[in-house]
């Protein structure tokens, strides 16, 4: 990679980390917002699902637009939308305003995350792609998991204070993107993967259908299950450990912060080596297995330190799954990276919609039901990976 490309990737990583940091500030304060405003677990699930639902609707559209008009405008507007959403959440006093904030957050994620992945695919060779996507995934996952820790610390001042901080981080990211990302028209590296104009004007569904080979369909299924499992696990985690294991705000923040640190180390320093050692398919298989086992321990362990270890295993397995599947997915198609990553994000969003809704509803009935549903899906995915390996060999 040239110095110019490395600089651009560094800017995108920085902005992605900040936006994901802000998006995840809600997790440690969920049980306390729930209690203060007398919301149900299902209300909190709906709040999380609205974020994902808007992502689902917007992501494929955004991916195609960024293929046609360029990456920078989409990245900048996504960051600005994120800032607005965080300020609305900080000011909200009623459920519909909380929901509106999370919906705008979902729009900002749809604009920024798949576009950043598409930009990485545009700028890098196949050889460097796993490394760069690993860095982006580290920023994505690190922000999502460090955010709750920061949110827990800032919430000691006020439950709303973390969101004022998130809005300010969004403004900073917007300024950085405007100042440091070059204009698409000036880029020597302007997407070589863009399609001819007539191809871009074709119906989106016809392009999606062209991607649906057996291997790609299996990968898309994996993306959905990964998103469903992570959302189902994470969306109720703070509620679960607060109500069942009596974790306070500081304990929740500590666990999630520790997860974030380990996740960053694994993705920055080990992910690329893991792919070289085992290949993406085996990494995916091992991670599905580890996350299923870890979730079972979360249900039945009652020792705090054992629960923390099990939580670490689950989160780190999910954090390896995301870049492993994304890397393999981008290697399967040399064209339509924006559309491909838009579909990726849409399927992630479907899982993110369904996961919190089901988990929130089941949590109101029984504390163990949500995690048993997650375990079943993860175990099925582990089995499917053996078929995935066969399809991948046939595709080579």
Please enumerate, as own/partner, the contacts of 377-380 that have beta carbons within 8 Å and a separation of 24 or more: 377/225, 377/228, 377/229, 378/225, 378/229, 378/288, 378/291, 378/292, 378/295, 379/288, 379/292, 380/225
Q: Which of 190, 174, 172 is nearest to 71 (CA)?
A: 190
Find out whether 344 and 136 touch, Cβ atoms under 8 Å: no
CA gap 216, 205 in Å, rounded: 15
Closest of 230, 239, 243, 237 to residue 354, by C-alpha: 230
Angstrom distance (rounded) from CA 84 to CA 96: 16
- DSSP character at residue 365: T
Structure-block tokens of residue 86: 């965080």
- Cα–Cα distance between 36 and 14 in angstroms, integer? 34
**CATH number 3.50.50.100 given to 3-182+204-395:** no
Task: Please report the DSSP string for 218-231 in residue order.
Answer: HHHHHHHHHHHHHH
pLDDT at 336: 61
Q: How many CA atoms lie within 13 A of 389 on its CB side?
A: 14
The pLDDT value recorded for residue 193 is 41
Question: CB atoms < 10 A from the CB of 94, how many?
Answer: 9
Own/partner contacts of 72-75, CB < 8 Å, gap of 24 or more, are: 72/177, 72/181, 72/182, 72/183, 72/184, 73/184, 74/111, 74/112, 74/115, 75/12, 75/15, 75/111, 75/112, 75/115, 75/116, 75/119, 75/177, 75/181
Residue pair 332/150 in contact (Cβ under 8 Å)? The answer is no
Q: What pLDDT does 341 receive?
A: 66
With a CB cutoff of 8 Å and minimum separation 6, the contacts of 121 are 129, 133, 193, 330, 337, 341
pLDDT tens by residue, the chain, 396 residues: 677 778 888 888 888 887 777 777 777 777 778 888 888 878 887 887 787 788 778 877 776 777 677 778 888 998 999 999 999 988 988 889 999 998 898 888 888 877 887 777 777 776 676 677 777 776 776 677 677 777 777 888 887 888 888 889 889 889 988 888 877 655 444 444 443 333 333 445 565 566 667 777 787 888 888 888 887 887 788 788 888 888 877 787 778 778 777 877 887 788 888 888 888 888 889 999 999 999 999 888 777 788 888 888 998 888 888 788 877 777 766 566 666 666 776 677 778 778 888 888 888 888 888 889 989 988 988 888 887 766 666 554
CB atoms closer than 10 angstroms to residue 306: 13
Distance CA 139, CA 297 (A): 28
């Amino acid at each position: 990679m040239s110095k110019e490309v490395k600089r651009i990737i560094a800017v995108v990583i920085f902005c992605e980390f900040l936006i994901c940091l802000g998006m995840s500030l809600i997790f440690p304060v969920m049980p306390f917002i729930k209690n203060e405003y007398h919301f149900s677990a299902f209300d909190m699930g709906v709040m999380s699902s609205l974020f994902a639902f808007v992502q689902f609707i917007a992501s494929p559209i955004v991916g195609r637009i960024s293929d046609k008009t360029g990456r920078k405008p989409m990245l900048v507007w996504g960051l600005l939308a994120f800032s607005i959403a965080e300020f609305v959440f900080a000011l909200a006093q009623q459920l519909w305003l909380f929901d509106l904030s999370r919906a705008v957050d979902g729009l900002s994620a749809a604009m920024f995350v798949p576009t950043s992945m598409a930009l990485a695919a545009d700028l890098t060779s196949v050889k460097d792609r796993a490394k760069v996507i690993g860095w982006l995934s580290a920023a994505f996952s690190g922000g999502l998991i460090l955010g709750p820790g920061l949110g827990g610390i800032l919430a000691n001042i006020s439950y709303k204070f973390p969101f004022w901080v998130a809005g300010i981080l969004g403004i900073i990211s917007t300024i950085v993107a405007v100042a440091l990302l070059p204009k698409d028209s000036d880029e020597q590296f302007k997407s070589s993967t863009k399609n001819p104009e007539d191809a871009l004007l074709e119906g989106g569904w016809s392009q999606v259908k062209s991607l649906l080979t057996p291997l790609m369909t299996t990968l898309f299924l994996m993306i959905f299950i990964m998103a469903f499992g992570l959302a189902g696990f994470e969306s109720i985690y703070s509620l679960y450990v607060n109500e069942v294991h009596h974790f306070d705000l500081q304990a929740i923040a500590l666990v999630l912060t520790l997860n974030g640190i380990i996740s960053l180390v694994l993705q920055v320093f080990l992910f690329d080596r893991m792919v070289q050692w085992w290949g993406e398919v085996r990494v995916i298989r091992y991670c599905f297995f580890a996350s299923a086992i870890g979730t079972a321990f979360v249900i039945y362990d009652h020792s705090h330190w054992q629960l923390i270890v099990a939580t670490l295993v689950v989160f780190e397995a999910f954090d390896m799954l995301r870049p492993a599947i994304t890397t393999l997915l981008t290697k399967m198609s040399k064209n339509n990276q924006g559309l491909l990553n838009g579909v990726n994000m849409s399927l992630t969003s479907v899982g993110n919609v369904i996961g919190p809704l089901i988990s929130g509803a089941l949590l109101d009935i029984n504390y163990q039901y949500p995690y048993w549903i997650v375990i079943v899906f993860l175990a099925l995915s582990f089995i499917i990976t053996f078929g995935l390996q066969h399809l991948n060999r046939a595709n080579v």
